[in-house]
Structure 1
Amino acid sequence: MESGSLLFSFFLIFSGAAVLATAALFTRQPLLVAYIVLGAFLGPYGMEMVTDTGLLNDIAHVGIIFLLFLLGLDMQPSHLGHLLKKTATVGLISSIIFALTGYGLGLAFGFTQKEAIITGATMMFSSTIIGIKLLPTTVLHHKHTGEILVSLLLLQDLLAILVLLLLYNFDGGFANSKMDVLMALAALPMIIAAAFLAVRYALLPLMARFDRFHEYMFLLAIGWCLGFAELAHALNLSYEIGAFIAGVSIATSPISQYIAINLKPLRDFFLVLFFFSIGASFNLSLFDEVWLPAMVMTAICLILKPTTFGVLLRANEKKSTAWEVGFRLGQTSEFSILIAVLAAGQMLMGEIAAHVVQATAILTLIISSYIVVFNYESPIAVSEKLRRD
């Protein structure tokens, strides 16, 4: 079998993941760490056994899309609006604090003005995947902690999309970038309206008529999710926002839970690829130049984020809830990696600065995962008492 083939890459990734996951379980380590380590080991900067990381990144992105779709399936539209309104102040104030901190650190590390600004932007976001993946289903769907966490992540995702839109359209100048952002924001209510109308007059009637054919229901759900993801992307929004809207639009339907249960294995398949691609994307030859600033940024992030959320949320929440949300959001994001890679491609960021951001994201993802699984309820908690699915 050719070493560069997609099938051989899948063999290496999932066989290797199974071996490392087994070792991780025996040593009581988070499985996510195993996938990232495997990516660094097998990727183009390690053993060079899996080299087509561009293709893997595209495939892995589907996992994030399904994750947001499944999240939307459990969010009632009226409840979602209430949550966003309730956490908007905390989300915006915390984002400003993180951005200013990242900007100051960038200047302290000798980054250029543009690099420092982009570094500050990457510090604003926490990981949607880590936040949701490490929440037990019962907490995510039925408890107040999960509601706060999800609303803050959604607000951050909206801010991340604005940053990405500016970067994607930077070559056209500031005026064009501003226009594209305004057009994307104008398209958002149009997509929401189209989704709810299509559900009422097309999707639900089809589901009601053919609900005995499980294969058809499975295909219809995937087509609905990916169709709206592609529509949102075409209108200068993100795939994730489109998938989330697709999920919310059928959240009130009794069929939503059936769809959620059947799509979870597919989501997990793609998320293994996502975490593998994170590890594979890091250039290990730059380690000597990026490790010190990355360690400093990681330490500050792991202290600053829980503290900031803990203090800001204390005004309306219990102390234990405020700190738990803070620790669950105490990392940078997969969006941070994406922004750094895109900025480097646009020549807005040097290779060293981009890798500092990526290394910080990887380190905070790993360390914050340890903090959560050792101290709070999660599906992969080390303690039997804390393990919840």
Structure 2
Amino acid sequence: LGFNNSEAIIIGLCLMFSSTIIGIKLLPTTVLHHRHSGELMVGILLIQDFIAILVLLAIESLGKGSTDFLTMLTPLIMLPILVGITFAAVKYVVLRLMARFDRFHEYMFLLAIGWCLGIGELAHLLGLSYEIGAFIAGISLASSPISQFIALNLKPLRDFFLILFFFTLGAQLNIVVLSEVWIPVLILTATVLLGKPVIFRFLLRRLSESNRLAWDIGFRLGQISEFSLLVTFLAQDAALMSERSAVLVQSTAIATFALSSYIIVFNFQNPIAVSDKLRRD
């Protein structure tokens, strides 16, 4: 489509991920927590998130103006250190504080936010990104009994910032540049919407999953991800992507978010289905 090698590789990486927001928001809660399909879906998304962290680390290293071995190695050393500090702090400090003051909902709310922001800042000090720190902070609490309580109490805050996230995405979209890349946008959007369900169906069938489940998971993951947008933002800051290629990814993300959501809502079980037959909370 006329992009240079580095841009083409990054665009390809961006198309690799699927949206955690759409996948989880349009999955019925009963399926998410109590069925094999929910476990499979979350497992795939978690693996993608870990791969996204490695991609973000690589882009950060390349964006520092030096591609020597030490520059590439430093984030890979710092990531295990951050993970070790985080999980140790959860085990010996955070969970004990939560167990002692779990009656005070305001305290739990502030502790969760402080934990997220604190680990994000620690990641930044270690040479990683805030996003990686926040993600690891969430994973460190995911297996604790208090995780569901935190998730429910932070839901209004999450939805609020989710709105701001998409607002910012729209505000940064350069309409003038979009007019130059609308044909590649259509091609990539069609490729993602048609290709991902087929590929996931093929792979899941090879793992002995049922044909119906394979198609269901395939269509639910048939879009690109919020992580794709983070990758483009970091790559653009690191001068690894032009505005033209960044707009291409952003526009493809918006198009696949919208069209994939409609496909799921009208054809698969979800909490906001128009049909009573498909609506599952």
Q: Is TM (by shorter chain) over 0.5?
A: yes
Q: Measured at CA, do residues 346 and 224 of structure 1 come closer, stay the same or move farther in structure 2, by a change above 3 Å?
A: closer
Q: Measured at CA, do residues 290 and 234 of structure 1 come closer, stay the same or move farther in structure 2, by a change above 3 Å?
A: same
Distance (whole Å) between structure 1 residues aligned to residue 79 and residue 241 of structure 2: 30
2:177 paired with 1:286: yes
2:162 paired with 1:262: no
Aligned-partner residue type, residue 134 of structure 2: A
Shift, 1:327, TM fit: 0.8
Shift, 1:252, TM fit: 4.6
Greater CA drift, 116-125 or 237-246: 237-246
Percent of pairs identical after alignment? 61
2:186 paired with 1:295: yes
Counterpart for residue 270 of structure 2:
378
Give 1:127-206 correspondences, 5 Å limit: 127-170=19-62, 171-175=64-68, 178-206=69-97
Counterpart for residue 8 of structure 2:
116
Distance (whole Å) between structure 1 residues aligned to residue 240 and residue 142 of structure 2: 40
* Residues 268-291 of structure 1: CA deviation (Å, up to 9, x unaligned): 111111122222221112333111
Distance (whole Å) between structure 1 residues aligned to residue 49 and residue 74 of structure 2: 18
* Residues 359-381 of structure 1: CA deviation (Å, up to 9, x unaligned): 11111111111111111222322
Aligned-partner residue type, residue 210 of structure 1: F
Would you say the 8 A contact 1:233–1:239 is kept in 2?
yes
Q: Measured at CA, do residues 145 and 265 of structure 1 come closer, stay the same or move farther in structure 2, by a change above 3 Å?
A: same
Counterpart for residue 229 of structure 2:
337
Counterpart for residue 28 of structure 1:
none
Distance (whole Å) between structure 1 residues aligned to residue 27 and residue 2 of structure 2: 38
Distance (whole Å) between structure 2 residues aligned to residue 127 and residue 325 of structure 1: 12
Shift, 1:251, TM fit: 4.0
Q: Measured at CA, do residues 240 and 384 of structure 1 come closer, stay the same or move farther in structure 2, by a change above 3 Å?
A: farther
TM-score (norm 1): 0.65
Counterpart for residue 134 of structure 2:
243
Q: Over the residues paired in the alignment, what is the CA RMSD in angstroms?
A: 2.3
Would you say the 8 A contact 1:165–1:236 is kept in 2?
no
* Residues 3-37 of structure 1: CA deviation (Å, up to 9, x unaligned): xxxxxxxxxxxxxxxxxxxxxxxxxxxxxxxxxxx
Q: Measured at CA, do residues 216 and 304 of structure 1 come closer, stay the same or move farther in structure 2, by a change above 3 Å?
A: same
Would you say the 8 A contact 2:219–2:264 is kept in 1?
yes
TM-score (norm 2): 0.88
Unaligned runs of 5+ in 2: none
* Residues 317-356 of structure 1: CA deviation (Å, up to 9, x unaligned): 1111111111111111222223334333433333322222
Unaligned runs of 5+ in 1: 1-108
Aligned-partner residue type, residue 174 of structure 1: T
